[in-house]
Amino acid sequence: MTRHIIRRLLQAIPTLFGVTLLSYMIMSFAPGGPLATLGLSDPQNLDQETIERLESQYGLNDPWYIQYGRWLVGTDIIFRLPQTGNSTAVEETIERSSPTTSSARSANSQQGCSVLANERRGIVRGDFGCSYKWRRPVFEVIGERLPATIELGIATLFVSLFVGVPLGIGAAITRGRIFDNATRVLAVVFNAVPNFWMGLMLLLVFAFTLGWLPSGGRCERMRVRLPDGSTGGCADVVPIYNRLEYMIMPVFVLAVGGIAGYSRYMRTSMLETINSDYVRTARAKGLSARAVWLNHAARNALIPLATFLGPAVVGILGGAAITETIFSWPGLGRLIVEAVGNRDYPVIMASVVIGATLTVVAYIISDILYALFDPRIRY
């Protein structure tokens, strides 16, 4: 098993490299750029010279493979091409920490980094660069959004499994009867209804009409003084169990697809298991129907579900973008959408790396779980 995991992890390296190379290439060839819309924001005042100077400072007028090389291994290995024209590329070092003089307010925890910096160490050495749009280290920008998405993702996975699996078992047990037919209809509806529409309808009914649930966000909006003297928001002071009401609607919207999928898959798996020899043996031994269904059939039918973990992670990350937008959830999905809109290459690429890594890791965990659950599997 250990050798298998090591082998899978080693295989993941070229996979991730390929993903980043393709992503960077596609992103570079996509129309627009980080500064493309800057001029349109103030057409009477911004001019060609200014935009060209900024492109030069950002290193955006280098060929895409040079930019990719810099992003991957750093500027000490892949240098910038000599700039031409009136550009005034600034030789500036990176990661200057924010001055903590008496002149700065302490309320802002965000630390910046220079978008002009051309001395990057590359992602292979842990430097994901600086966001063009937010002018802060990419990892910091992503880091403050990631907890919200993980919170949503784990809750979604939990709800999907703990609702979907029992529904599937129940449907198998009651095959052909009302419950089975009802879950089938429900699964079709859950799969067919678009996330954004369902989110808006839930908001209209439960937040704006009935007022039972909050209309958005991860927590109540507040501004509080933290013990260290800095300013914080609700998520800094209110524990998760006191803000579960904020999760109900977004988790439901994200989970419906999983519930539908798990219930149908579980039903099929159960029905296949029920015709196996060991179930027949159990019945022949005179075990109760409950024992046969739950102890023998259900436990074995659960094994293939372990392979769902990888696709589930991908599905949740993908669905999070829409759900987080509808519910103003401050997560990674929304950040990625904004980054793509702004052509914020460093944030887009870091998101790609994180997404790809999570997917690869999820698939490896799936394999491990499969082997653990099913003793017949040996790597």
Partner 1 sequence: MKRFTKILFLGTVLALALAMVVPVTAQGPGEGGVVITDNIGGDPSTFIPFIGSDTVSSSVYAWMYPSIIAIDPFTLDNAPNVAQGMASGWEYDETGTVMTLYLREDITWSDGTPITARDYLWAVEAVRSGQTSSPRTSAFTSLADGTPESGSVDSIELIDDYTLRINLGDPVRDEEGNVTGLTPNCIAINDINDVTPVPAHLYEEAFGDDYASIDADPFFVPTATFGPFTDPFFEAGVQVSLIAEPSYPDTQLGYVSPSEWVLLNVPDTTVAYERFLAGEITYTGISADRQNAFRELAADGSYQFFEYADNGYTYMGYNLADPNNPQPGLDENGDIVDQGLHPIFSDILVRQAFAYAIDVPAMIGSRPDGDEPATGILEGNGFPIYTHNSNVSWVDDGLEPYAFDPERALELLAEAGWVDNDGDGLLECNDCLYAREVDPEFNGSPLEFELVTNAGNVIRERTGQTIREQLAEIGVTVNFSAIDFGALVDLLLSQTHDAIIIGWSLGLPFDPDGSWAFSAESDNPGSGFGFTSYNNPELNELWQTATTLPGCDRGERLGLYQEAMRILYEEQPYMWLFSGNVMAAAQGTVENYDPLPLFATWNIDAWNVISDQ
Q: Output the CA angle 10-16-18, nearest 5 degrees.
A: 115
Evaluate whether 343 touches 281 at the Cβ level (below 8 Å): no
CB of 104 to partner 1, least distance (A): 6
CB of 36 to partner 1, least distance (A): 5
Give the whole-angstrom CA distance, residue 135 versus residue 347.
Answer: 11
Give the whole-angstrom CA distance, residue 39 versus residue 56.
Answer: 15
* Greatest pairwise CA separation for the chain in angstroms: 89
Applying CB under 8 A, which of residues 305, 312, 326, 362 lies at the interface with partner 1? 326
Applying CB under 8 A, which of residues 155, 161, 203, 297 lies at the interface with partner 1? 203
Q: Is 221 in the site for partner 1 (CB under 8 A)?
A: yes
Evaluate whether 129 touches 347 at the Cβ level (below 8 Å): no
Applying CB under 8 A, which of residues 41, 82, 84, 210 lies at the interface with partner 1? 41
Q: Is 23 in the site for partner 1 (CB under 8 A)?
A: no
Of 184-192, 227-235, 263-271, 346-354, the segment contacting partner 1 by CB under 8 A is: 227-235
Applying CB under 8 A, which of residues 302, 317, 335, 350 lies at the interface with partner 1? 335
Dihedral Cα 259, 260, 266, 272, nearest 10 deg: 180
Of 32-40, 240-248, 262-270, 280-288, the segment contacting partner 1 by CB under 8 A is: 32-40
Evaluate whether 354 touches 128 at the Cβ level (below 8 Å): no
Of 9-17, 70-78, 89-97, 157-165, the segment contacting partner 1 by CB under 8 A is: 89-97
Applying CB under 8 A, which of residues 31, 126, 176, 227 lies at the interface with partner 1? 31
Q: Which is nearer to partner 1, 220 or 272 (CB)?
A: 220
Backbone angles phi, psi at 133, to 5 degrees: -80, -45
Helix (H, G, I), strand (E, B) or coil at 186: helix
Q: Which is nearer to partner 1, 108 or 288 (CB)?
A: 108
Q: Is 215 in the site for partner 1 (CB under 8 A)?
A: yes
Applying CB under 8 A, which of residues 70, 120, 267, 334 lies at the interface with partner 1? 334
Q: Is 245 in the site for partner 1 (CB under 8 A)?
A: no
Give the whole-angstrom CA distance, residue 242 versus residue 251.
Answer: 16
Q: Is 57 in the site for partner 1 (CB under 8 A)?
A: yes
Touching partner 1, residues 113-142 (CB under 8 A)? 113-117, 133-136, 141
Give the whole-angstrom CA distance, residue 374 versus residue 379.
Answer: 12
Give the whole-angstrom CA distance, residue 138 versus residue 128.
Answer: 6
